[in-house]
Structure 1
Amino acid sequence: MNTILLGFAILASGSIGYFISISLVTTSFYKNRANNYLSLSIFLLASLTLLGWFDIEDTVLEFLNNPVLEYLFGVTLFTYFLIQIQHKYLKKSWYKWLYLPFIGSLIIETILYLDTIFNFYNSDFVDLQFHIMDNASFVYNVFLIFWGRKLVKGSHTISEDKKRWLLRLNLFVICIIICWLLSTIEFYVFNSEYATSFLWILLSFLLWWILYYGVFRLQLVVQKDEIHEYLVSKRTNSTQTKKKINETTVSKIISQLYEVMDEEELYKNPLLSRSDLANRLETSERYLSQIINQELNKSVTQFVNEYRIEAAKNLLHNPVFNKYSVEAIGMEAGFKSKSVFYSTFKTSEGLSPGAHRKLQKQS
């Protein structure tokens, strides 16, 4: 019963993997050169998961099983890393030679597969060739994955969010390679396959993780960065905020507070704290809270969130940003999570950000 449930889970994960890989190359917003290679890597990973778990012996699919796909997986994922960090290796003439092991294994496997029809070689020779190719693919993948990790860690051309995603993906693949090694040792030494079952579970979990973190969460970061870059290129001073200063400012500290919030957009930092504001204004946290409460009749958090709500509303009203998700707009405005953005916005405006955007489109 457990084996059947595990089989269904792996089948569902493989289907998710195929769905992600197809979506990355067919959806206009996701489609780019880097995601083309990520799509192929995920497709290969899903295929290896399904072919490894389900019995494909004595079928044409056996030809696609280890180690041909393994050689291609390592180099496509390595290429994805290079494109993301915009590495100079992509322009080197020797770079294409990294695909040579895949081409060689494809030729060798074709010849060995024909042996099942014409019986050219004895079975011991065929088994030996498969063992050599399988072990060589393991070494080759380890080399590419650790090389890719070193290049990503040393890169200064990408944001911290993107670097964190690449390093986490790389680490996950390293865990899979370790599990792959343990399953091989277990099979030949103990003649059991517990580690192998765990390997398929780990591969399945990776596909679900890529769906959430690598596709959904990372894409929000990409959208947020695009919104930010557009705003920087079109930046203008806010007359509304300046008017508020002239009408309500009493003390010097409040005037300075408005000034740094307008000019430096401190509210866009989701980790902005009362201590950060106090340090920036060269005052104490207690005095800052007291003066905001006395003169503006609100807390520091309410003051900062009002700026964030106003920034979010401006983005939601602008048709230029209609293609971007509400979550990405909330991130650009300075909210640290979707739930905080939705609850704060609804408390302030009486409706959700999505409903607010829809209402503006209709008006």
Structure 2
Amino acid sequence: MKFGFSREQEEFRSNLRRFLAERSPPSEVRRLMETEAGWEREGWRRANAALGLTALRIPEAHGGQGFGFGELCIVLEEMGRVLLCAPYFATAVLATGAILNAGTEEQKRALLPGIASGETVATLAFAEDAGRWDAAATTLAATPAGGGRWRLDGHKSFVLDGHTADLIVVLARGPGSAGEEGLSLFTVPGDAPGLERRPLRTIDMTRKLARLTFRGVEAAPLGAPGGAAAPFARTMLEAAVCLANEMVGGAERLREDALAYAKMRVQFGRPVASFQSMKHKAADMLVDVELAKAAAYYAAAALDEDDAELPAIASLAKACAADAYMQTAIHAIQIHGGIGFTWDNDTHLWFRRAKGSEVLFGDAHHHRELMMRHWAA
């Protein structure tokens, strides 16, 4: 495993950081997060035309660039730094992952080019109102409708960008099945008859979630019906690793901004950064963020290498990044003092993202339990 990035990767990161800093300053984040969609389609298309970011992981045979998770996680880390308001995670990580892991070659040829070009915004709908992230909790019913078509009845909740996606990949359960048996993935157009989409109010306004209700919605199977358990599990491992990398980007931004403020703020005739309590907080943040980075980078490399310990490594990265991001956000607000609690100060934007990401796909306790189960097996 290599922990260092290549010169090409560092150059890619540098160019991407400049691009995102110009496209997503805090003022733009605040503007977009107040909208119902949370992003603008024209800006999304321009960003993809400039850098082709949604095509990064998609194979060249399907219109993509054919890079690995090392490069994808660089993108996510940099997007986490600026809180980019765009359906990138839903499209490039969740939906693309599900299609690559579960779809047939014919389905990949049909679905992936639109995602790669940026024309198709997609997402994966799997969690429900109970808030569980495992496949066994699925209750949405899939019923054969003849001619290779199925009908879906039930609901999905906490769907990333589910109210604006053009294509929705849905995890559903076949008749008479239980646990991880009888699970299938389906594709549904965002404007399908019988599909009701409602945005949810969440603590993180920069990442939009939705509740979807299916009433006899016609759907096409993605891959073999009844065989979705393994592809879905792989997609969730990828999502946990990608989210961990996005989180360390946000944590690093918080750490840098808090340190810059402490050096600038003067109290009792000297910068507050010179006080011992501030030095302790700065040191704690640095250690937490660097450890989380190491875990996230290692997990991304493990995905590219298809490491046998990947389930444990992915959970380790998610748990470590969740703790580091949340604790860094707390320290950052405290370092900013009274202004850190105000709406006008930008720190709360990253605090909200830290809190939302902490529980997304399972919190640190959940992932530590998964890690111990893997090691005990």
Instruction: Report if TM-score (shorter chain) is over 0.5.
Output: no
Which structure would you say has the larger RCO, counting Cα contacts within 8 Å and 6 or more residues apart?
A: 2
With normalisation by structure 1, the TM-score equals 0.24
**Is the strand fraction higher in 1 or 2?**
2
**Is the helix fraction higher in 1 or 2?**
1
With normalisation by structure 2, the TM-score equals 0.23
